[in-house]
Structure 1
Amino acid sequence: MAGPDIDTQIKQLRATLRTVEQVLDVDAMRTEIADLGIQVGAPDLWDDQANAQRVTGRLSALQGEVDRFDGLVARVDDVETLVEMGREENDAETLAEADAELRRLHQAVEVLEVRTLLSGEYDAREALVTIRSGAGGVDAADFAEMLMRMYTRWAERNKYGVDVFDTSYAEEAGLKSATFAVRAPYAYGTLSVEAGTHRLVRISPFDNQGRRQTSFAAVEVVPVLEQTDEIEIPDEEIRTDVYRSGGPGGQSVNTTDSAVRLTHLPTGTVVSCQNEKSQLQNKASAMVVLKAKLLALKKAEEKAHLDEMRGDVQASWGDQMRNYVLNPYQVVKDLRTGYEVGNPTTVFDGEIDGFLEAGIRWRRGTDATVDA
């Protein structure tokens, strides 16, 4: 039943939402939505398909964020009304329902409040995620595919758009690598805490002797660049290769050489895109990925230089950040934050908000320690 401090809890929720509204600048979001709505209504919008997709995608993502905020405000109003009804009618069942909804609201508002901790230079950007299988053979490739499904399911749960740029399938099962964008404000800031080495321990479904297998996958998260970002790449620094797209098991996807691979010669950075219909579209998408990776490389070099001056360089094993254990017991545990869940199935089905929140708070704490 609702406790005597329920009015205080409701006031605290409203105060938190006002803070979130100010920090996220929801009013600015509404203004941008109105401006984007005008652009969407222009008859020549689709003359430039790339810009049209950017405008419509941004509009959809912003509207989703504002709807999420407005929905929470409405739910606080509703629970306050429910409490008033329960008290007027002395209805214990109604008050219990209000109390349960209040607990759910606290969790939902807390998730949104974590967003206010994302104040990095690129945190508000969309995210470009690359997953690569590591040590562990076919189990690692299968693990990489499990992780891709986990992140795309998380995006679907939050109604975020996902654009797959490239998938490289392993011969027997799973993925060698995959690159995809998550189209939502603050997707980079939110998902950047997932970067690092992920480790899976389970009875291998590919071992006919049923032995336990440990496998690894690497997750890379970089921000999607905007037109205002200054990343210029001279043509002579890029090698372009075209090839025929392929699917699982080497199956042909189309009969033309439409897939594109770009190699940045000075750094050796290689990206590819095969999921668009034309070679021109694939090259444009691959260039977006390449620029994002080069920006991330530049930032990583700057950070490494600072870490070297601080004497804070860690061994590569330190990149391992999460264990997914399916045998002999079941748990998913983040090694940085200590946050864990005893049901790996729900985690692989996209329920990772707890890990993301803990990671963001952990990162904010470590950043504060470094700044100090």
Structure 2
Amino acid sequence: MEELQKRLDDTAAKLKIEDKKKKVEEIGRQSSDPNFWADHIKSTVVMKELSYLSKQIKKVEDIQQLLDARDFNQAEKAIGSLEMDLYFSGDHDFDGAILSLHAGQGGTEAMDWTEMLFRMYLRYSENQGWQYEIIDKIAGDEAGLKSVTFSIPETLAYGLLKSEAGVHRLVRQSPFNADKLRQTSFALAEVIPILEENSEIVIRDDELEWHFTRSSGKGGQNVNKVSTAVRLVHKPTGIIVESQQERYQGQNRETALKILRGKLWRMMEEQKVKHINELKGSFKLASWGNQIRSYVLHPYHMVKDLRTGFETSDTVSILNGKLDDIILSYLKKTATVV
């Protein structure tokens, strides 16, 4: 009893539950103001935060009730689940995520591999009960995808998917070669948080260069008549963002700005600076030398994470989006507060 109570108290303290109770009260006061609901995007984000905070507070209260009722077995399981929340200590771990996949070396093989990874992450999102939206997609010349970008505006999406950033290597018998030769292909995953407009990332209008073209994305005849596709260049860093999947230009502009904010935030994190004007040099795509995971389908089956040492021979489950164990191994290895 005493040991479990101490675990609960320690975990609640590390999660700053008392501060979160105050935050819930503050959001309650904000939401009672009619002006709060005028900004639909901001109010939606705040209410998602409220929902998560309320659930976490309730977890702690429910565990305390289990301990008071001397239901120690259920309490221990619940404390273990609560301790998982300690792995998410980053500034934007609770935000949504934007995930981009790029085909690397290997031609058609690599493009097919990129599409396989895209399917894997869609399955993972579905398993989590997440909604997602495709922002930009470029088909391969013969098969697969050259690149694809999609957003997942769900709580904890970035905290979980940040583990996937880097190079993914596939080894298999080629389905595109009559001799079925063993082929190695590469694809790069970029993961950034969805950042709404705020004081953390301030982008001046004179730093932006906009280009508009007719979209090949969804939207029916509208996209063939109006320049809805957006190409955005951030002149100080050279970051280029494209968005064309939305029906209207304004929606694609906002999506492009969200991606730009995420890329700038990541660049600031990498260079350890606090302001955009302190950034040095031009933006570079995540390094192809940063190989994080290997997927071998021939001559044996093995998925191995090169950062954590996690490995499994159940490649089918992994490629079907069952990534919980492999992501958890990364979170445990990189957690700063446990």
Displacement of 1:76: 6.7
Distance 1:75 1:219 in 2: 43
Distance 1:25 1:156 in 2: 31
Q: Which residue of 1 aligns with 2:290?
A: 319
Q: Which residue of 2 aligns with 1:54?
A: 45
Distance 1:75 1:333 in 2: 41
Distance 2:113 2:57 in 1: 35
Distance 1:354 1:152 in 2: 17
- Correspondence list, 1:1-372, <5 A: 16-26=7-17, 29=20, 32=23, 47-59=38-50, 62=53, 69=59, 73=63, 106=77, 110=80, 112-247=82-217, 254-255=223-224, 256-302=226-272, 318-364=289-335
Secondary structure of 1:130's counterpart equals strand
Secondary structure of 1:213's counterpart equals strand
Pairwise CA RMSD of aligned residues? 3.8
Higher relative contact order by CA 8 Å / sep ≥ 6: 1 or 2? 2
Displacement of 1:301: 2.7
Secondary structure of 1:135's counterpart equals coil
Displacement of 1:176: 2.0
Distance 2:82 2:143 in 1: 37
Cα gap change, 1:332 to 1:50, in 2 (>3 Å): same
Displacement of 1:259: 1.8
TM-score, length-normalised on structure 1?
A: 0.71
Asked if the contact 2:8/2:60 (under 8 Å) is kept, the reply is no
Secondary structure of 1:350's counterpart equals coil
Cα gap change, 1:121 to 1:74, in 2 (>3 Å): closer
Displacement of 1:243: 2.1
Displacement of 1:225: 2.5
Q: Which runs of 5+ in 1 are unaligned?
A: 1-7, 84-97, 304-315, 368-372
Higher helix share: 1
Secondary structure of 2:331's counterpart equals helix
Cα gap change, 1:38 to 1:364, in 2 (>3 Å): closer
Cα gap change, 1:252 to 1:324, in 2 (>3 Å): farther
Asked if the contact 1:111/1:357 (under 8 Å) is kept, the reply is no
Asked if the contact 1:246/1:252 (under 8 Å) is kept, the reply is no
Cα gap change, 1:151 to 1:32, in 2 (>3 Å): farther
Distance 1:354 1:15 in 2: 27
Asked if the contact 2:295/2:302 (under 8 Å) is kept, the reply is yes
Cα gap change, 1:327 to 1:290, in 2 (>3 Å): same
Distance 1:302 1:212 in 2: 42
Asked if the contact 2:222/2:247 (under 8 Å) is kept, the reply is no
Secondary structure of 2:132's counterpart equals strand
The share of aligned pairs that are identical, in percent, is 35
Cα gap change, 1:243 to 1:58, in 2 (>3 Å): farther
Asked if the contact 1:244/1:259 (under 8 Å) is kept, the reply is yes
Letter in 2 for 1:183: P
Asked if the contact 2:217/2:244 (under 8 Å) is kept, the reply is no
Displacement of 1:287: 0.5
Distance 1:46 1:277 in 2: 25
Cα gap change, 1:74 to 1:212, in 2 (>3 Å): farther
Distance 1:253 1:138 in 2: 32
Asked if the contact 1:114/1:357 (under 8 Å) is kept, the reply is no
TM-score, length-normalised on structure 2?
A: 0.77
Cα gap change, 1:226 to 1:280, in 2 (>3 Å): closer
Secondary structure of 1:192's counterpart equals helix
Asked if the contact 2:174/2:181 (under 8 Å) is kept, the reply is yes
Cα gap change, 1:253 to 1:235, in 2 (>3 Å): same
